Amino acid sequence: MTSTTPGNSRRRTHRKRAYAPRLPLAERREHLLDAALRVLAREGYDRISIEAIAKEAGVTRPVVYGAFDGLEPLLNHLLDRTQRRALDAVARFMPENPDLSDPDGFLLELVAGVIDAVRAEPEVWGPVLGLIQGAPAVVRDRIEGDRRAIRARFEHLLAVGLEIRGGPDLDVELLSHMIFVSVEHFGRLVLEEPERFTRERLVDGLAGLLAAVQPGPAPDGAAAGGDR
Amino acid sequence: MTSTTPGNSRRRTHRKRAYAPRLPLAERREHLLDAALRVLAREGYDRISIEAIAKEAGVTRPVVYGAFDGLEPLLNHLLDRTQRRALDAVARFMPENPDLSDPDGFLLELVAGVIDAVRAEPEVWGPVLGLIQGAPAVVRDRIEGDRRAIRARFEHLLAVGLEIRGGPDLDVELLSHMIFVSVEHFGRLVLEEPERFTRERLVDGLAGLLAAVQPGPAPDGAAAGGDR
DNA sequence: GTGCGAAGCTACAGCCCTGTAGGAAGTGCT
DNA sequence: AGCACTTCCTACAGGGCTGTAGCTTCGCAC
């Protein structure tokens, strides 16, 4: 029997919806995260909401609230899923003790690996590379933290690589920032214009630049390197 | 006399607000754009709305709607104001026919100029550099268009500069992307960590890198340059 | 077959915001 | 002083969304 409350004059003009199939909590959470990813890929962060995810998943909002405490925790879980894969991929390219005997070769393999990973899982790398727009603060802050950590690790490897390479004597921190944002940009170019910016073109282009960067002392006695 | 409608049982419990000073339309528009900029700087794009701008300006929403047809047109006007200054600054650094007799010197002056402009007017460059978060599509699309145009012009100058420099023989389009995102990143570093990344450090760091990039043919016969 | 508990749904309350009709107030001119 | 016009405000209507109380339904165990 339908209850009515004072002031509620709306009549039930629509059939009650069928119940969604019941799922254990763990399965429901994965189901909802998959739905969230589809909404995100199709409409971006601007349009993501508990309401939109519920619709995409074919359930009602209380079901979503039963699995997550709100949009922010849900997005955090989604990031847990995708960022873990991104960080795993990065860990493969930048292991703890890499073979840096050929520093230029190492960098080129790293870049090639990043490009392959980006092409293989655009749904993982899209948010990281800022290609899914309108990200809320929870997503931006999380990704920014990951980026800082990865760049710091890269800076360390770069310092070692430049030593092995015999120079040039440069501001390693600054150089790591420049290489980092360039490689990120490679990722965006590969996703946005895959036929114009092929893997080969990007890797060859970087190889050409590395070949032009002499290890010896810069003739002008340029800036000292290293952290401040 | 206050009209009442069926179902409207709320009593007027608050004093009517005093009218805001009347302004001619042109002045009102500037007044509202100033208010919008303050909301933006303080709270970001996430919190910008006609409602928030009206409150900041000390008027009601119809006054804002009287000056602009909605949030999107208002933000476009704001961008008109700020992006014009940014594009003017860029035009100073990249004139139509620059003196490229010293290409490296030209690039260093350009970067120094960008850094100075960014420090001088952070409210103009913040949105351009993605430092004001949560930008809606109208802002993103507009800035993306400006970025493409600036990078394309830079690519042209880069090609000429490399010719004059005598090489190296590199993928100019790709290199222009790399330098472009690096200089943008310099802008962000300057705003986010001004004491760690001083103007001198950034310019000297880049000078050191340029000094290490030999103009002669790369020893490995690396990638051919130029547009596809 | 029945009962119980878990999972899902309806309906409600509320917030924030957009956009506008019509009235109120202020200013300038005669 | 009065009138007309311009600018501003109140109140209304509506959309989108969050979050939850209490009811409904389904599935499983006995």
Domain boundaries, chain B: 22-68, 80-212
- CATH class in words for A80-212: mainly alpha
A22-68 matches A80-212 in fold: no
Q: How far is the CA of B55 from the C1' of C26 (A)?
A: 22
Q: Using CB atoms, pick whichever of A168, A202, A223 lies closest to residue B174.
A: A202
How many angstroms away from the CA of B124 is the closest CA of chain A?
A: 20
Q: What is the mean pLDDT of residues B106-111?
A: 94
DSSP one-letter string for A167-212: -----HHHHHHHHHHHHHHHHHHHHH-TTTS-HHHHHHHHHHHHHH
Q: Which residue has the higher pLDDT, A224 or A74?
A: A74
Q: How far is the CA of B43 from the C1' of D19 (A)?
A: 25
Q: Is the pLDDT assigned to residue B43 strictly greater than 60?
A: yes
d(CA B4, CA A124): 55
Contact A167 B212 (CB under 8 A): yes
Residues of B in contact with A204 (CB under 8 A): 171, 222-223
Q: Is the pLDDT assigned to residue A206 strictly greater than 80?
A: yes
Please give the CATH topology (third level) of the domain spanning B22-68.
Arc Repressor Mutant, subunit A (1.10.10)
Q: What is the mean pLDDT of residues A200-222?
A: 79
8 Å CB contact between A106 and A100: yes
CA nearest neighbour of A66 among A54, A55, A80, A56: A54
Least confident range of A95-99, B55-59, B69-73, B191-195: A95-99
Q: Which residue lies nearest C18, CA-to-C1' measured?
A: B50
Q: Which residue has the higher pLDDT, B132 or A159?
A: A159
Q: Residue A214 — pLDDT band, cuts 50, 70, 90?
A: confident
8 Å CB contact between A78 and A33: yes
